[in-house]
Amino acid sequence: MNDIGRLFQAFLAPAIFVSATSLLILSINVRLMGIVTRLRQFVHAKHDATRSGRLQEAEAYSTQIASIEKRAEIIRLSFLFALISLAATITSCLLLGLGLYVNGAALAAVIVFVAAMICLLVGTLYYLREVMAALSSVRNEQRDLHFMDLGAHPEARPHDPL
């Protein structure tokens, strides 16, 4: 009966990290969805501008698309490292439980848990990097006179039926 209590104690600390990491992953996912939505809007607007012969406008969109693609890659890396951290934390939790019955499993759990925390740190640093760059697209739009002369937002402009 004592082993069951120790088993739950072994699961508790990593379980807290699972919850915290999951919330971070949720936040990153929402940010990624916003970036992808914005990227799709710009890609469609660029296509519309190119098709309509508005080459300066299309070039302005190309600049914004490149900027947003860089941010999307940074947030993708953050997402990836956070997911790896989550998987490793769950694995360490299972190894801790196994460590009650198998020699060496507890040491493996510690190693996996430290690796999980390193991945979580790397993912958080990528997230921080993306957050610091978040306004770069807006600042670039403000500086780009071609982009500012576009008038209505791309999603508000009427599109050709073809």
The C-alpha angle 132, 136, 138, rounded to 5 degrees, equals 130
Q: What is the pLDDT of residue 161?
A: 44
Q: Are 3 and 79 in contact (CB under 8 A)?
A: no
Q: What is the pLDDT of residue 96?
A: 83
CA atoms within 13 A on the CB side of 141: 14
Look at residue 156 and tell me whether its pLDDT is greater than 50: no
Look at residue 97 and tell me whether its pLDDT is greater than 90: no
Q: What is the pLDDT of residue 145?
A: 58
Look at residue 7 and tell me whether its pLDDT is greater than 90: no
Q: What is the pLDDT of residue 14?
A: 72
Query: Could you give the percent of the chain with pLDDT greater than 70?
Result: 78
Q: How far apart are CA 131 and CA 27, in angstroms?
A: 12
pLDDT tens figures, 45-82: 999 999 998 888 888 888 889 989 999 999 999 999 99
pLDDT tens figures, 119-142: 999 999 999 999 888 876 667 666
CA 96, distance to chain mean position in Å, is: 29
Look at residue 117 and tell me whether its pLDDT is greater than 90: yes
CB atoms within 10 A of CB 28: 23
